[in-house]
Amino acid sequence: MFLFIRVIILGVTQMQLLQSKLFLLLLFSQLIGSQVYSQVPWSKIDKPYIPLLVKSFENGKIDSSLGILLSKYPNENIIIGLYLKSLVVKNIDTLVINKYISKAKELKGTFSLDAIGFYYHNKKNYLAARDYYYQSYLANKDYVNYGVILDLAFLEEDTGNLYEAKKYYELAKNSFPNVYEVMIEIVQYYFNQKMFVEALRLLDSFPSNKNDDYLFIRKGEAYEELGMFDKAKDMYQASLMENPKSSEARFKILCLYIYRYKDLGKAELLLSNLKSDYPDLSVTKFGESILLTETKRYHESNIILKKLIITDPIVTYYGNIAINLILLKEYNESIKFITEGETKYGTEDHFIILKYIAMKGAKDIRLNEFVLETQHQFGDSIFDATKSMCQDLGINYDEIFSK
């Protein structure tokens, strides 16, 4: 039974949803650290705050440092841009965000314009996002920043303009050959397009000094998608050899035994060891919840997920709670959690399908209105995956949709 995880790109398999970017969604410092720090040659920027900024990135404390830097440098393009992105990621009040959008528009710098694009991208206002991303790209005069090119690629991929997306990925790759972060994003692009052989080929071409734990995990994911589960396990174990403390690699192996090998006894043992070593990590508790769901202990799974929402409110947990409630045939309660997730994170493709299933199960009088509105906004294709999703989730499609 495959569970829900947030993706922006369409057409990704359920297992890939589970194993894609959970860990990038957990902390803002991780997001900024991975997507900004490595994208800019900071040493070439002659600003007095750069040493503190770089140190904050390296220490994983950029979120707390931005407030200090903002009070001291309230009119700096880089500071305003990073701070605005942090507000968007944390879903801060719109009035506060609008204040900094106005400031970013005044500054018209690469970082500030990119942050405005990021805001509109997050709001799915793709025309405005494209405009500001491109302005940011044109404003990039003082230093090279391939992050802006990648943002344009992400946007075109999100909107289904795959030709344009490929063009920007190629531009980033050709402009910054052998740059680790660019190659990683192209690997993700191959994953999104289900080009797993190409992803493996690119991963194998990485410099020999880059055999880090993350690369082994990506290789493992590619082998999984190709149905080569033993090779996938070998890669996850190689990741653990590189980084014995990697909770992500252990989570991948746990999922492998749950979903691929369907060996729940082994999965129970792996989870027990993970709980022993990392009892307080969100990933450990999430792993426990998905194993509980797989063993049809839906109420117990939701108890864990509802606690996770309080301490670490990411969209994944709302989706998983909704699925458990559908499996319990508590359709109205499922609709409530889906609606709450939409309020916090916007309308996701999988939220739409789950809501469709729940409303049908509940015989909700608003169902026809919901279908017409969704078809008008997204087209008929949004419901095409309903039957396969029911099958993946263990939901009795005929029982719900024959009524």
pLDDT tens digits, one per residue of 83-98: 898 888 777 778 889 9
134: its two tokens: 């491109």
Residue 146 pLDDT level (bands cut at 50, 70, 90): confident
CA distance from start to end of the chain: 24
Domain stop point among 253, 271, 295: 295
The model's pTM is 0.76
- What distance in Å separates the CA atoms of residue 180 and residue 207, rounded to the nearest whole number? 9
**Each residue of 200-247: pLDDT tens digit?**
999 998 876 666 888 999 999 999 999 999 999 999 999 999 989 889
Q: What is the dihedral of CA 206, 207, 208, 211, to 10 degrees?
A: -50
Q: Is residue 180 part of a domain?
A: no
Count: domains in the chain: 3
Q: Is residue 185 part of a domain?
A: no
**Which CATH number do you get for residue 273?**
1.25.40.10
Please indicate, yes or no, whether residues 130 and 59 belong to a single structural domain of this protein.
Answer: yes
- What distance in Å separates the CA atoms of residue 144 and residue 110, rounded to the nearest whole number? 10
* Alpha helices, DSSP H, located in 278-314: 282-294, 298-311
**Which CATH number do you get for residue 310?**
1.25.40
Please indicate, yes or no, whether residues 304 and 290 belong to a single structural domain of this protein.
Answer: no
Please indicate, yes or no, whether residues 364 and 258 belong to a single structural domain of this protein.
Answer: no
Please indicate, yes or no, whether residues 110 and 147 belong to a single structural domain of this protein.
Answer: yes
Q: Is residue 170 part of a domain?
A: no
Please indicate, yes or no, whether residues 287 and 309 belong to a single structural domain of this protein.
Answer: no
Domain stop point among 262, 280, 295: 295
185: its two tokens: 């994003």
DSSP 8-state assignment for residue 143: S
Please indicate, yes or no, whether residues 225 and 240 belong to a single structural domain of this protein.
Answer: yes
The count of other CB atoms within 10 Å of the CB of residue 65 is: 19
Q: Is residue 165 part of a domain?
A: no
Please indicate, yes or no, whether residues 61 and 5 belong to a single structural domain of this protein.
Answer: no
Amino acid at residue number 157: E
Q: Is residue 158 part of a domain?
A: no
Q: Look at the chain and count its residues.
A: 403
Range of the domain at 352: 1-26+300-403
- What distance in Å separates the CA atoms of residue 8 and residue 15, rounded to the nearest whole number? 15
Which residue, among 11, 25, 13, has the nearest Cα to 162 in the 3D structure?
Answer: 11
**Each residue of 21-31: pLDDT tens digit?**
333 333 333 33
Q: Is residue 139 part of a domain?
A: yes
CB 190 within 8 A of CB 198: yes
CB 97 within 8 A of CB 88: yes
Please indicate, yes or no, whether residues 12 and 79 belong to a single structural domain of this protein.
Answer: no
Domain stop point among 295, 314, 347: 295
Please indicate, yes or no, whether residues 380 and 306 belong to a single structural domain of this protein.
Answer: yes
Average pLDDT of the chain to the nearest whole number: 83
Please indicate, yes or no, whether residues 335 and 286 belong to a single structural domain of this protein.
Answer: no
Q: Quote the pLDDT of residue 314.
A: 81
- What distance in Å separates the CA atoms of residue 299 and residue 305, rounded to the nearest whole number? 10
Q: Quote the pLDDT of residue 92.
A: 73
Q: Who's near 265: CB < 8 A, 6+ residues apart?
A: none
